């Protein structure tokens, strides 16, 4: 969905409507919030009418209103207090539930479509969608939507009441609101354009901030601090300029709304004054009631003129929710729970980016169960792409990839339940991410319930011994953001240990040793050699010392020929 392909009118293909099915579990709570808000506004209108009538009666006639008016007013005050508290409690509760529902739906989409082959996808924009856009929509659905619904009911009810008193009173309200809408529409179209400009500027600013944070070492190393500050300042100025123009338009629109509100009040007053059968004592009450009624209506109109940022946010969230899977999946296999290592059969698998640029030519490969295979190739030949295809981060454009048990036929990986597949095949990349937190918490990313003993066993198998001096708190040692407190070799062995915690049947290593010195590389390869026979290992590397440890090695370029053309 294109965030910019939006109109100024509410319709079924509006992204704000499009998100409602994802909130269906909370529709009753949202409806009840609207009912409470409506009751609160009605109580306020009654207080305005009753108060004005009582004051006018005392000033003009010199007498107090009857007891029932004071009792009704006291009840309305108490009701307002209770409803206001209840409405705040409800709106906060539903806001958190809406936020959770949107983020769960969004992350479900991310789990299918990230990493993506789309060149335009950016982590900063995804993060802005997951955090900023969902929070903006949380407020809209929990507060603004119910406010709009309440305003519509108030308008219908207020018009009906005025109609029973006199047609001219109802006509004054309706004509005034129609004039308000007609005067507002031209402003709204311009606000749409400015709102889109603000959202684009903020999205670009978020993407820039993520890039700069990720490249902080390079920025410091090359002495680019001044240039970075200038870039951030320029992005901030762009956002500020766009917001300033939008706010100026909104302020002007607010002045138009206030003039229209004044016109409606004057029209109601004149219609009431010229109504011969109406007691003049009720005229101030009618004016006060109309003013109180207009307040939520004016706010609703203001909201309608400022919906574009919410609409743009909804479009981005819908785009994230609707991220397509990397490829079509066959029907899940009824049962696939093999024991021991699995072989791999790649039959003509190929891959290209979203713009059609080929990345991996049709490839054929057979790996026996328990084999340690090394794959080499020139830079840019598609080695990392093959690794991601093997572990189903991406899906091939054509061809197939199968897992082969020791006994039985190959099973297409696309037909295996994804959760089951993740426990069978795993990947360790060169730049495996280490998260802020303790060593144990990083290990538990693979197996959330992993105990300290299981983590220590996996770390030992990966060749990482936790000496007391280096690791004073053992697996509870905090290692810092992006593994700031560990060396490159320790980071690589932590990533390997995290993968081994799954006890996979197939382990894919993509340039895992690329940045290690010879001694650290040897320690890691010693650990990998210990896995021989227990699991199938595919090592993708450009280093001869790494490939020399494999049972067999192949060149990726030689895998682009069909089996019948390959030498026996």
Out of 7-16, 198-207, 462-471, pick the least confident: 7-16
- Residues 49-79 have pLDDT tens digits of 888 888 888 888 788 878 888 888 888 889 8
Q: What is the pTM of this model?
A: 0.62
Tokens describing residue 201: 């500027």
β-bridge mates for residue 372, sequence order: 537
Average pLDDT over every residue of 441-464: 87
Give the span between the Cα atoms of 203 and 313, in whole angstroms. 10
Superfamily of domain 343-565: P-loop containing nucleotide triphosphate hydrolases (3.40.50.300)
Cα 484-206-125 angle, rounded to 5 deg: 95
pLDDT per residue over 143-158, tens digit each? Answer: 788 878 888 888 888 8
Residue, of 77 and 306, whose pLDDT is higher:
77
Domain with residues 15-321, CATH architecture: Up-down Bundle (1.20)
- For the segment 281-309, the average pLDDT, to the nearest whole number, is 78
Backbone angle region of 126, left / alpha / beta, with phi > 0 → left and psi within -120 to 50 → alpha: alpha
Between 222 and 226, residue with greater pLDDT:
226
Closest by alpha carbon to 95, among 59, 168, 153, 144?
A: 144
The 10 Å CB-count burial string (b at 16+, else e) for 481-515 is ebbeebeebbbbbbbbbbbbbbebbbbbbbbbbbe
Could you tell me the residue ranges of all domains in the chain?
Answer: 15-321, 343-565
Query: Each residue of 438-463: b (16+ CB within 10 Å) or e?
Result: bbbbbbbebbeebeeebbbebbebbb
The percent helix, strand, coil of the chain (3-state, each to 5) is 60, 10, 30
**Terminal alpha carbon distance of the chain:** 50
Q: What's the CA gap between 261 and 269, in Å, rounded?
A: 12
What confidence score (pLDDT) does residue 401 get? 93
Provide the pLDDT for residue 565: 46
Q: What is the pLDDT of residue 13?
A: 72
Reported as half-sphere exposure (CB side, CA atoms, 13 A), residue 222 has a value of: 9
What burial class does residue 85 get, using C-beta atoms within 10 Å of its C-beta: 0-12 exposed, 13-18 middle, 19+ buried? exposed
Cα–Cα distance, 57 to 75 (Å, whole number) = 21
Above 60 in pLDDT, residue 280? yes
Angle of CA points 289, 46, 63, to nearest 5°: 90
| pLDDT tens per residue across span 399-410 | 999 999 988 788
Token pair 């795993």 in the structure block, residue: 426
The mean pLDDT of the chain is: 81
């Amino acid at each position: 969905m294109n965030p910019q392909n939006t109109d100024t009118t509410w319709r079924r293909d509006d992204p704000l409507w499009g998100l409602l099915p994802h909130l269906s579990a909370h529709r009753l709570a949202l409806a009840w919030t609207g009912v409470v808000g409506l009751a609160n506004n009605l109580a306020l209108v009654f207080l305005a009418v009753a108060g004005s009538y009582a004051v006018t009666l005392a000033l003009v006639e010199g007498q107090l209103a009857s007891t029932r008016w004071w009792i009704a007013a006291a009840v309305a005050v108490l009701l307002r207090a209770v409803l206001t508290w209840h409405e705040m409690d409800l709106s906060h509760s539903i806001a958190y539930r809406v936020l959770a529902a949107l983020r769960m739906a969004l992350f479900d989409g991310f789990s299918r479509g990230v990493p993506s082959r789309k060149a335009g996808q950016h982590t900063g924009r995804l993060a802005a969608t997951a955090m900023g856009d969902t929070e903006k929509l949380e407020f809209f659905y929990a507060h603004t939507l119910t406010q709009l619904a309440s305003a519509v009911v108030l308008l219908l009810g207020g018009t009906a009441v005025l109609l029973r008193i006199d047609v001219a009173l109802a006509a004054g309200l309706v004509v005034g609101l129609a004039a308000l809408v007609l005067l507002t529409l031209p402003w709204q179209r311009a606000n749409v354009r400015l709102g889109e400009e603000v959202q684009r500027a903020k999205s670009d600013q978020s993407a820039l901030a993520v890039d700069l944070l990720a490249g902080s070492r390079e920025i410091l190393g090359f002495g680019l601090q001044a240039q970075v500050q200038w870039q951030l300042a320029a992005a901030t100025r762009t956002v500020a300029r766009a917001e300033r123009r939008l706010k100026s338009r909104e302020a002007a629109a607010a002045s138009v709304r206030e003039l229209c509100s004044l016109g409606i009040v004057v029209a109601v007053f004149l219609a009431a004054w010229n109504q011969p059968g109406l007691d003049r004592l009720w005229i101030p009450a009618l004016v006060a009631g109309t003013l109180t009624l207009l307040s939520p209506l004016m706010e609703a109109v203001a909201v309608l003129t400022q919906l574009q940022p919410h609409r743009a946010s909804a479009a981005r969230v819908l785009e994230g929710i609707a991220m397509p899977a990397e490829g079509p999946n066959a029907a899940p296999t009824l049962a696939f729970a093999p024991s021991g290592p699995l072989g791999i059969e790649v039959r003509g698998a190929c891959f290209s980016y979203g713009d059609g640029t080929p990345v991996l030519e049709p490839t054929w490969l057979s790996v026996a169960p328990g084999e340690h295979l090394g794959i080499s190739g020139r830079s840019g030949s598609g080695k990392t792409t093959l690794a991601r295809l093997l572990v189903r981060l991406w899906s091939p454009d054509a061809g197939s990839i199968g897992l082969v048990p020791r006994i039985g036929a190959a099973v297409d990986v696309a037909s295996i339940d994804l959760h089951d597949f993740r426990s069978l095949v795993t990947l360790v990349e060169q730049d495996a991410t280490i998260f802020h937190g303790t060593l144990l918490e990083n290990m538990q990313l693979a197996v959330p319930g992993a105990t300290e003993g299981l983590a220590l066993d996996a770390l030992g198998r990966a060749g990482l011994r936790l000496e007391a001096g280096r690791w004073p708190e053992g697996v509870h040692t905090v290692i810092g953001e992006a593994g700031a407190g560990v060396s490159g070799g320790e980071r690589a062995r932590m990533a390997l240990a995290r993968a081994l915690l799954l006890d996979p049947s197939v382990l894919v290593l993509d340039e895992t040793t690329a940045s290690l010195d010879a001694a650290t590389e040897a320690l890691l390869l010693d650990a990998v050699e210990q896995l021989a026979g227990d699991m199938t290992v595919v090592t993708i590397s450009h280093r001869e010392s790494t490939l020399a440890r494999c049972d067999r090695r192949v060149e990726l370029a030689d895998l682009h020929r069909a089996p019948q053309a390959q030498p026996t």
